[in-house]
Amino acid sequence: MFKKITAAVLFVEDFDKCLAFYRDKLGLPVAQQEPDFAAFTMEDQDFAIQGLAASAQMVNVDVSTFEAQTGGVDRVMLCARVENVDAAYETLKARGVEFTLPPTSQPWGIRAAYFRDPEGNIWEIAHSLSG
């Protein structure tokens, strides 16, 4: 039935601020952009952001259901693999990304750093400690 997750889409309140963050601070190339939608491609994984109103219309729900969900509770983390987390950390920090945890070796075999996007979503960047 399901083979793999092919894309992640974040429904965001401030589309322009998020677009600038992902494009300019994280350096993700924009693969597709339309009003209230931007897609970024990272190798074989697609990642996109979409404004709340456009998102609600797309999935046929009232936009207030999305707004009611944004109570400040962390419910999702997006994880991205990088070649060297320490180098990525320094690059992103120089671009103004604020980290919640600098690169740290984790007991489950990765070295990871964590930050939030402008909407408060948590991101992990990491590389494997096994090589």
**Separation of alpha carbons 81 and 79, rounded Å:** 7
What would the CATH number be for the domain defined by 1-71?
3.10.180.10
Q: How far apart are CA 95 and CA 93, in angstroms?
A: 5
Would you say 103 and 111 are in contact if contact means Cβ atoms under 8 Å apart?
yes
Give the domain ranges of the chain: 1-71, 74-131
- C-alpha to C-alpha distance for 85 and 92, rounded to whole angstroms: 10
Give CA–CA dist 11/70, Å, rounded: 11
Three-state SS at 82: coil
- Going residue by residue through the chain, which has 131 residues, state the pLDDT in tens, using 9 for 90 and above: 656 777 889 989 899 999 999 999 999 999 999 999 999 988 888 899 999 888 877 777 777 766 655 555 566 788 899 999 999 999 999 999 999 999 999 999 999 999 999 988 889 999 999 96
> CATH number of the domain at 74-131, out of 3.10.180.10, 3.40.50.1820, 3.30.1300.10, 3.40.718.10?
3.10.180.10
